[in-house]
Structure 1
């Protein structure tokens, strides 16, 4: 699709849509989330938690507590009429609630604070889709680690039915008394301390399961971080204290994933983790801890090494692809299906470091593109700390290309605070700026499709960290708005926040970008047998021969330059 010329674009006036107010929010609403099926909204506020119907916007249930202020919430469906809610409060305590038959039940507290001197703080808490697993990064006395939990879903469902029967019993009075099944810690992952020196090569189990790298592409990785070329024996490489994780669905023939085909669809089989300052992405399988070795620190099952430090990451919706934003303006995309790197792309050396990245779900298909899986492409949005945004398009057997979508804003107020791909709109992204402006942007034509504004009496609440939720099933946007102080409203009116809504399907301008229902089913490949996986890998190798030959030439050039530099240093050292 060709971008329109500047003269044509300048003649078009960007449309503006006013967001209607649909409901009054509870006092100090801090967070908002929507269930994957689009039926419910979860609201966290200064008095606790509430669940609303996403269609009628009627409050269906609430759990109020004066001292409980929820600052983060997530909602996922566990069963037909049962939803799990993961929350974090202002004191750093993570909890798991269940919404069942118009009631909210507290199932467990993730990090209890029995000893004030050993107070643990939950920094992030995430539920996997379907609610089978959860992951929390926890800090205590300067030490940080990641815990992955397995939730007893079947037991909880039976206990929720028991609680409902007690509540409906006419002879029962008082609070529901049910002992909820405990949560099991599946894996406790600490920042790795990798031995230096050649001792790293003795970790057979670790390196045997690491990715098989081609010789011609090994220059993209720096094994020095593992300590292979470190002469200071006995030292360990410390990792800074922050981690990022992603749940992974089954798709590859890595150890343990061969059993994934017998598991329910959508159940994660692994979690990948990277730590700030590290060059390595580590993958851990969600397998049972050996009963005879419960305290053994888990070792990664797969290692994804990189030449530069990891700054940000993203996983595709099907989790087949993992993208890493590296220091030095490099983007590395790996294919879990074949177990090999898909590409390493230099985005821009002029902009600042990467800040965030995400996959674009739907992209217009060119008439020249083949309909076979070999021509499948992946598309990324890459955000820089400077505010500049780039797009990356790559694929096996195709030429990778980058494009600058927006330049670095001249005014800091124009910095984007939210830039997300809208899953049901082809090539459109939702952007919220620090100044409160909100609009939809065409990432291919680099044009603003329309502005979304609240009524003149209101403004977008906290545009630096807007409170919003995107309902992909109903194709609607919910966002919090506050009374505009310049309108002279009373202090009571200013304290009451409003929930604004935008229905994407009601706009004729946006309808042309709508993804039809026949296109929403992503084409995913599933290699069940080892033979199919090998065939798939060989086909991809044949398609990437030109790209690999180019990498070989670049590698030899780097080696020659390095050899000249080392020889020059030795000559200078001998002369001195």
Structure 2
């Protein structure tokens, strides 16, 4: 189960040689200046059906048509600036928006055709000295649930909300209700405190096996992921297709990944206990979830990467990465192909992970159950601060320009340079440049969005002349830069349709099927596991012998 990194020198040499050949003359694509952006545009978000682009800016938010960039609707309020935005499709013509403003106030909106309706303020400002500040707010795909990381003075916690989306859509269709704007409330179904991460009131056997969090400083951040149904069917009380059933999360400084079941109403009068706790060998520093939410990858402080398989209820692999830098973030590279069928046996498909280190080094890790994990370094440690990566985003709709798999990623550096990279061999296959006399608006934190349905990249840019003539603190106009991959002969042949959303896949497996799959996998991987164990014991014996000399 615990696989040590295994990359032969011949594999590394082959990959490096292929990458060097393709890096000589990378293709160049130029973005176009499409439209003027509102003042202080801080964030962009695309609807998951690809029809709309939402913009957060000074004074509120706006919704544009994603293809024509025509203005569709806006919601404005004085002395307010939207800094964070999230958008998801809830119905054929309904979209749920989640926002955070510059005062840390979280809001929920519903966009329907030509109007944006404010539905709920998550944390209203009552006492300025005791106000709850939201610093992270996301909604699940489809809008059934929302999670908000809150802070009040030195206290921090995670709030889980249930959004009655179907009631809201029905109320919007009723002229009397929509005129009064008295919407159904969004109940808070859970308030999770960091103390839940140290709960050990499980069975005595588990209590001795768990890793207890022992940190001198209180947690300051919570990372969470909504998870779809991925497990055994029990006949009755099945959730609707695509609705998340649980949320997993971890607090900074914690060794443990925790789970809480989602509900529509508050069930606990006291602090809820985690329904599942998965301990790890070291402190968790970053995490990622596959598109189907079956696989969860955790980057640990001791350069271990653990990939958990929710269907098996155990790690798919645990491997170490030979690096002298801490992990910054993880990303599933080609999860669209790896997870299209959750009922497949556990032996099919290989999971690819992109690992970004704080030093700027980037690795690709290939892993599958019962096989040795292979890792290849795609880029070296950054020698200059301008070469540090600020964006690594999987371009799921663009087939690898070198291979046949969905392995292309968008890379943006702090110096404003943009590339498309094949993450299998590290080849820089395409360079992206802004229009003439334009730069990215903010190199360290680029404002961008990927439209996976319409195959469009949106970036915020500014004119060089405006940047040079403006004084510090002046408001500078910015432009929306666009790259339409369908319109370029170079990339058009590689554009593929996005696989069906896992929300629409009604998938369920029985306990017997899951058990049979696991036993079948164990039988097939027996020879490989025996070989791995033999090699491990040999290395241990060699280490002991060298220490005794």
TM range (shorter): 0.7 to 0.9
Alpha carbons of 1:288 and 1:205: their partners in 2 closer, same or farther (altered >3 Å)?
farther
Is contact 1:317-1:361 (8 Å) kept? no
Matched residue, 2:358 = 385
Give the alignment partner of residue 541 of structure 1, picking from 512, 522, 532: 522
- Structure 1 counterpart of 2:219: 240
Contact 2:346 2:518 survives alignment (8 Å) = no
Q: Which among 249, 253, 261 is matched to residue 228 of structure 2?
A: 249
2:181 is aligned, of 178, 181, 188, to 178
Q: State the 1:499 CA deviation.
A: 0.5
Q: Does the CA-based 8 Å contact 1:189-1:298 persist in structure 2? A: yes
Structure 2 distance, partners of 1:401, 1:530, is: 31
Long gaps (5+) in structure 1: 168-175, 209-221, 228-234, 366-370, 565-576
Partners of 2:234 and 2:494 lie apart in 1 by 39
1:113-162, Cα deviation, whole Å (9 max, x unpaired): 22222111001000100000000000011110001110011221122123
Structure 2: distance between partners of 1:489 and 1:290: 56
User: How far apart are residue 445 of structure 1 and its match?
Assistant: 2.4
Offset of residue 529 of structure 1: 1.7
8 Å contact 1:338–1:536 — kept in the other structure?
Answer: no
Residue 131 (structure 2) aligned to one of 116, 119, 126: 119
Question: Which residue of 395, 417, 421 corresponds with 2:368?
Answer: 395
Superposed, which structure 2 residues align to 1:155-234 within 5 Å?
Answer: 155-162=167-174, 164=175, 176-192=179-195, 200=200, 203-204=202-203, 207=206, 223=209, 225-226=211-212
Are residues 120 and 557 of structure 1, via their aligned partners in 2, closer, same or farther at CA, if it must alter by over 3 Å? Answer: farther
| SS at structure 2 position matched to 1:13 | coil
- Tell me the TM-score normalised to structure 1 length: 0.82
**Offset, 1:540:** 2.4
> Structure 1 residues 238 and 500, CA, compared in 2 at 3 Å: closer, same or farther?
closer
Which stretch of structure 1 is more off in the superposition, 536-545 or 298-307? Answer: 536-545
Specify the SS of the correspondent of 1:66: strand
| Aligned twin of 2:76 | 64
1:334 aligns with 2:290: no
Asked which structure has the greater RCO (Cα within 8 Å, sep 6+), the reply is 2
Partner of 1:528: 509
Superposed CA offset, 1:26-72 (max 9, x none): 11111000000000011000010111110110111011112110000
Q: Distance in 2 between matches of 1:251 and 1:166?
A: 38
561 and 93 in structure 1: CA distance in 2 versus 1, 3 angstrom threshold = farther
Cα deviation for residue 344 of structure 1 reads: 0.6
CA contact 2:19–2:426 (8 Å) conserved in 1: no
Alignment pair present for 1:98 and 2:105: no
Return closer, same or farther for 1:11/1:185 CA change in 2, 3 Å cut-off: closer
CA contact (8 A) 1:353 1:385 kept: yes
CA shift for structure 1 position 431: 0.6
Q: Is the 8 A contact 2:23 2:429 kept in 1?
A: no
| Contact 1:137–1:145 (Cα < 8 Å) also in 2 | yes
After superposition, the Cα gap between the structure-2 partners of 1:408 and 1:4, relative to the gap in structure 1 and judged at 3 Å, is closer
1:282 aligns with 258
- Which region of structure 1 is more displaced relative to structure 2, 426-435 or 373-382? 373-382
Query: 1:485: how far off?
Result: 3.7
Change in 2 beyond 3 A, CA 1:129/1:414: same
CA RMSD of aligned residues (A): 3.5
1:322-354 Cα shifts (integer Å, max 9, x gaps):
00001111100011111111101111233x100
Residue 341 of structure 2 corresponds to none
Q: How does 1:282-431 map to 2 (within 5 A)?
A: 282-287=258-263, 294-350=268-324, 352-361=325-334, 374-425=347-398, 426-431=406-411
Matches for 1:412-561 after TM superposition, within 5 Å? 412-425=385-398, 426-485=406-465, 495-515=476-496, 526-546=507-527, 548-549=529-530
1:165–1:439 Cα change, 3 Å: farther
- Number of residue equivalences: 520
Match of 1:137 in 2: 149
Spell out, residue by residue over 1:424-481, the C-alpha distance to the aligned partner (whole angstroms, 9 max, x if none). Answer: 1221110111001111111122121111111222101101111111000001101110
Matched residues in 1 for 2:459 and 2:19: separation? Answer: 34
Tell me, in whole angstroms, the C-alpha distance in 2 between the residues paired with 1:301 and 1:309.
21
Secondary structure of residue in 1 paired with 2:78: coil
How far apart in 1 are the matches of 2:110 and 2:493?
39
Secondary structure in 2 matching 1:123: strand
SS of match in other structure, 1:432: strand
Contact 1:430 1:440 in 2 (8 A): yes
The corresponding residue for 1:567 is none
Matched, 1:37 2:27: no
- 1:260 and 1:120, CA in 2 relative to 1: closer, same or farther beyond 3 A? farther
Q: Partners of 1:7 and 1:276 in 2: how far apart?
A: 36
Report whether the alignment pairs 1:146 with 2:158. Answer: yes
CA contact (8 A) 1:193 1:239 kept: no
Aligned to 1:231: none
Equivalent pair of 1:375/1:397 in contact (CA under 8 Å): no
**Contact map agreement 2:299 2:305 (CA 8 A) in 1:** yes
Alpha-carbon contact 2:54-2:62 (below 8 Å) kept: yes
| Contact 1:192–1:238 (8 Å) recurs in 2 | no
- Alignment partner of 2:180: what SS? coil
SS across alignment from 1:95: strand
Q: Normalised by the size of structure 2, how large is the TM-score?
A: 0.86
Structure of larger gyration radius? 1
C-alpha contact (below 8 Å) 2:456/2:483 kept by paired residues: yes
What is the CA deviation profile of residues 195-224 of structure 1, one whole-angstrom value per residue up to 9, with x for unaligned ones?
Answer: 79xxx4x5339959xxxxxxxxxxxxx946
For the Cα contact (< 8 Å) 1:195–1:236, is it kept in 2? no
Distance change (3 Å), C-alpha of 1:561 and 1:148: farther
